[in-house]
A and B are shown apart, each in its own frame.
Chain A
């Protein structure tokens, strides 16, 4: 029976080639997008899931509640790990991991440097490898990192350093020009979907601050993982945690501190905390993609249902005849479902080809180095089969019900019309839903693109163009050579200005601290972002002073520049009043006097409001960067010369630089990705919806040929007939716009609310989306209805 059904199905599909094509085109594109989205979401959810203990692993993170806000921190105080190991009973293991990095040198037998490279490295406690079962190729993880000055390497690093990883163990490396590390183990490379991309693991015992006692100094580089004992529940740690907090946090800070236990699976997904891989994909983004995927599938299914029910009318005679011949309803349903599944299956084949073609583009869009593959994981084919069955039954069931339910007498007499053929109202509702989805996506796309343009073009209060941010070492020896470096770079033609500083005006990582203003008895009730720089900072970045002047050259005078926001928060009446007042930080008894007030500038991405800022005059250890402002004429040439100068000043170190503008663009990576996705998917949904519309108008036009002929001989013009056919579609699309607007408004307003600096939501995106949807509808529909209105009346009216 199935074989016969299949044969008939294939014949029927062939007979209605046009509609089969429309169905397969719409479905396959929709399915391809869904597969892509599934592969991506599946990949994002696969982060850190390769470990045997994954459900018992948690990261300890920090949290502070302030009067006017809160802070989330992925790091913990350095004494926390040993304290937890001591105080918590339900923990099987506790392990600290500390980010570090610097110059590694490999010397040959004669003591000559064979390889010099800057690498990221981690100080890791041996317990870490009990929590995470990394595959070790050589050495014993528990013994390998027990002693200070031992190191374990990934296969890739061992090969890079020594040519052949098998020979690495026993050899030595020089780190930061001082420590000599002995290689004691080699482990398998960590996969890309990992939040701890460890390539070099140095024994934690050798970490210089490993015995640090301060609970008030927290850096995102100091993280801590715990492994829960089998059978215990993370909620049971709340009680011991309270006691723990009271025991160790004895002095009062300006915020109320807390620690949370973050499940391993969320390390990659919670954008509030960073991680060592610097990659998080927020749940919001994944949910957004999921919604788009569902939208796509719905749109494709709606096409299918609409075309199938419309087509049902033209097949009513066949159905009537079959029924008279004794076919039962169930058998008819089986036949129609076979047809649907056949179409869906063909669509899947096409979808696989489309997916394969689009995968490199997607990997590129998300800047993931791995290659996504259709069959890289068994769950993907399973998903595809599930999707075929889902689409086949969801899209096929309703039309099958309608068609198999026709009254045979009416059906044989061809009395079933598109109106009473069933699904007339449903079809309209579905078209409205489909277009509402389309309009929501168009509106969303327009708003995202507008917000991105706004962020690109908004004046930031400083000029980030043609500024190179060159890393400088900040050990005491290197600091001595700062002036030499500065003056040599400045002499370079094409360099306009240089400044040594801790960070540029806008920076993703900032250092917050508390302070007192004008000898006040207690600290200000907010923290300020603290930057340090020399006297050329304002000039180099084009920052504007609204009062006072920039730093003097005299290193002995302690000076500070503040921004407008800081004064506003302190309720200082005018910037002039602040000049000469003293700011004291970190219990400094003397303090620095305010010499200037700088006009507000955006100090980080535009999601955040401007922070209160203190710029200290200093070229000490907090300096990390030499900012070089250049003429735009020959930037690559100038950069090459700067690198040469740098290398001659710091032969022991490794040069690295970025451009300020690139650093700023990086803030909006997720907007860039979302913008592209919305553009692509909105395009796809528009395509699917309109191809469906075209199919539908074709059926309607065919169905109404006779009526149009009658109207023609009653005196209707072609234009009137075209309008008649079009109007019902135009009304549906108009209705879809009305339905879509409030939904789109809620989505968009929610999305925009993440930005401190955002565009005002005007009616234009809505109007534009309406014009686009109505315009394309009019074009699609008119194309077909014009043809229908032009057909010869005589042919249609011939007596049947």
Chain B
């Protein structure tokens, strides 16, 4: 599903190139649950952003579902966002002015899903995440864990093939974090959704089936998790 070859990323500052990613090459299959780990500043977020096409690599090729997506035009990229990719952020990034239900509905509007279908999908999501009672609350009326659940529900609403999550539990207490991880595992196993997450926690990484260790912009280890 994802193929990276020799991805490099650097920022040029006063003529000095500071590399963030170097020679990153890897392949991720449909249905994998990958955790990216590494110390702060290692380039994890940058890598995830490149995978999510939010940033462009300086060098290298990136194929998503068999298509080269480096410098993809905006229209095609938006098509991918609408149909295949869901994002989950550490800071949740819900839209403050919209209710829980409206937040979940938002991507469906862009996907031009009909209103009946939208209603049923939102209802299904709310039901699945036990948030029916909170459907009309605004994000700032929810706890962090609840907000992140809404964030995930929103990412799932559009029925993506892959979820990209940058430290999804970074702001949460461990109990809530585990709940999120359970959810990811369930989605991965039951619906075959590819999940790529950045995390600092070994425990979280244990939920997945593969760990990429990043050190100073280089993949230092690529481990399969054995249960």
- Interchain CB contact under 8 A, B91 and A800: yes
- Closest chain A CB from B55 CB (angstroms): 6
Cβ-based interface call for B107 (8 A):
yes
- Interchain CB contact under 8 A, B93 and A715: no
Give A717 to B89 CA distance when docked, in angstroms.
20
Interface residue tally for chain A (C-beta within 8 Å): 22
Cβ-based interface call for A314 (8 A):
no
Give A198 to B201 CA distance when docked, in angstroms.
100
Give A715 to B87 CA distance when docked, in angstroms.
11
Q: What chain A residues lie within 8 Å of B111 (beta carbons)? A: 715
Give A712 to B78 CA distance when docked, in angstroms.
8
Give A793 to B93 CA distance when docked, in angstroms.
12
Known A706-B93, A797-B93: A714·B106 in contact at CB below 8 Å: yes
Q: What chain A residues lie within 8 Å of B82 (beta carbons)? A: 714-715
Which residues of chain A in 674-719 are interfacial with respect to chain B, using CB atoms and an 8 Å cutoff? 706-707, 709-718
Closest chain A residue to B87 by CB distance? A713
Q: What chain B residues lie within 8 Å of A710 (beta carbons)? A: 93-95
Which residues of chain B in 59-91 are interfacial with respect to chain A, using CB atoms and an 8 Å cutoff? 74-75, 78-79, 81-82, 87, 89-91
Cβ-based interface call for A723 (8 A):
no
Cβ-based interface call for A794 (8 A):
yes
Residue interface mask A764-794, B partner, CB < 8 A = 1: 0000000000000000000000000000111
- Interchain CB contact under 8 A, A799 and B110: no
Cβ-based interface call for B49 (8 A):
yes
Cβ-based interface call for A720 (8 A):
yes
- Interchain CB contact under 8 A, B154 and A714: yes
Known A714-B110, A715-B107, A794-B49: A415·B78 in contact at CB below 8 Å: no
- Interchain CB contact under 8 A, B81 and A417: no
Known A417-B96, A710-B95, A715-B110: A797·B89 in contact at CB below 8 Å: yes
Residue interface mask B92-108, A partner, CB < 8 A = 1: 01111100000000110
Cβ-based interface call for A542 (8 A):
no
Residue interface mask A302-331, B partner, CB < 8 A = 1: 000000000000000000000000000000
- Interchain CB contact under 8 A, A713 and B52: yes
- Closest chain A CB from B41 CB (angstroms): 13
B81: which of A419, A709, A714, A800 is its contact (CB, 8 Å)? Answer: A714
Cβ-based interface call for B203 (8 A):
no
Which residues of chain A in 708-754 are interfacial with respect to chain B, using CB atoms and an 8 Å cutoff? 709-718, 720
Known A419-B97, A711-B95: A717·B75 in contact at CB below 8 Å: yes
Closest chain A residue to B110 by CB distance? A715
Which residues of chain B in 107-138 are interfacial with respect to chain A, using CB atoms and an 8 Å cutoff? 107, 110-111
- Closest chain B CB from A576 CB (angstroms): 77
- Interchain CB contact under 8 A, B107 and A714: yes
Give A797 to B90 CA distance when docked, in angstroms.
10
Give A720 to B82 CA distance when docked, in angstroms.
13
Cβ-based interface call for B212 (8 A):
no
- Closest chain A CB from B83 CB (angstroms): 8
Closest chain A residue to B166 by CB distance? A799
A715: which of B49, B81, B97, B167 is its contact (CB, 8 Å)? Answer: B81
Give A105 to B203 CA distance when docked, in angstroms.
118
Known A711-B95, A793-B54, A797-B93: A717·B140 in contact at CB below 8 Å: no
- Closest chain A CB from B160 CB (angstroms): 10
Cβ-based interface call for B158 (8 A):
yes
Give A711 to B109 CA distance when docked, in angstroms.
10
Closest chain B residue to A709 by CB distance? B93
- Interchain CB contact under 8 A, B54 and A794: yes
- Interchain CB contact under 8 A, A794 and B55: yes
Q: What chain A residues lie within 8 Å of B52 (beta carbons)? A: 713
Closest chain B residue to A711 by CB distance? B106
Give A710 to B81 CA distance when docked, in angstroms.
11
B74: which of A717, A797, A800 is its contact (CB, 8 Å)? Answer: A717
Q: What chain B residues lie within 8 Å of A799 (beta carbons)? A: 89-91, 166-167, 170
Give A711 to B89 CA distance when docked, in angstroms.
13
Most chain A CB neighbours (cut-off 10 Å) among B52, B95, B140: B95
Give A713 to B96 CA distance when docked, in angstroms.
16
Q: What chain A residues lie within 8 Å of B81 (beta carbons)? A: 712-715
Give A718 to B82 CA distance when docked, in angstroms.
14
Q: What chain A residues lie within 8 Å of B158 (beta carbons)? A: 714-715
Give A792 to B54 CA distance when docked, in angstroms.
8
- Interchain CB contact under 8 A, A716 and B97: no
Give A722 to B167 CA distance when docked, in angstroms.
30
- Closest chain A CB from B66 CB (angstroms): 21
Closest chain B residue to A720 by CB distance? B110
Give A415 to B90 CA distance when docked, in angstroms.
17
Q: What chain B residues lie within 8 Å of A419 (beta carbons)? A: 96-97
Give A323 to B74 CA distance when docked, in angstroms.
45
Q: What chain A residues lie within 8 Å of B78 (beta carbons)? A: 715-717
Residue interface mask A488-501, B partner, CB < 8 A = 1: 00000000000000
Give A706 to B166 CA distance when docked, in angstroms.
16
Q: What chain A residues lie within 8 Å of B170 (beta carbons)? A: 799
Most chain B CB neighbours (cut-off 10 Å) among A709, A710, A712: A710
Q: What chain B residues lie within 8 Å of A711 (beta carbons)? A: 95, 106, 110
Q: What chain B residues lie within 8 Å of A715 (beta carbons)? A: 78-79, 81-82, 107, 110-111, 158
Q: What chain B residues lie within 8 Å of A712 (beta carbons)? A: 81
- Interchain CB contact under 8 A, B110 and A718: no
- Interchain CB contact under 8 A, A415 and B140: yes
Q: What chain A residues lie within 8 Å of B49 (beta carbons)? A: 794
Give A709 to B95 CA distance when docked, in angstroms.
10
Q: What chain B residues lie within 8 Å of A415 (beta carbons)? A: 140
Between-chain CB contacts (< 8 Å), 29 pairs? A417-B96, A417-B97, A419-B97, A706-B93, A707-B97, A710-B93, A711-B110, A712-B81, A713-B52, A714-B81, A714-B87, A714-B154, A714-B158, A715-B110, A715-B111, A715-B158, A716-B110, A717-B74, A717-B78, A718-B74, A792-B54, A794-B55, A797-B54, A797-B91, A797-B93, A799-B89, A799-B90, A799-B170, A800-B91
Since A707-B96, A714-B81, A714-B110 are in contact, a sample of 12 more A-B pairs with Cβ atoms closer than 8 Å, ordered by chain A residue number, is: A417-B96, A707-B95, A709-B93, A711-B106, A714-B107, A714-B158, A716-B110, A717-B110, A718-B74, A799-B90, A799-B167, A800-B91
The 9 closest A-B pairs by CB, nearest first: A715-B82, A715-B110, A715-B81, A714-B107, A794-B54, A710-B93, A713-B87, A799-B90, A716-B110
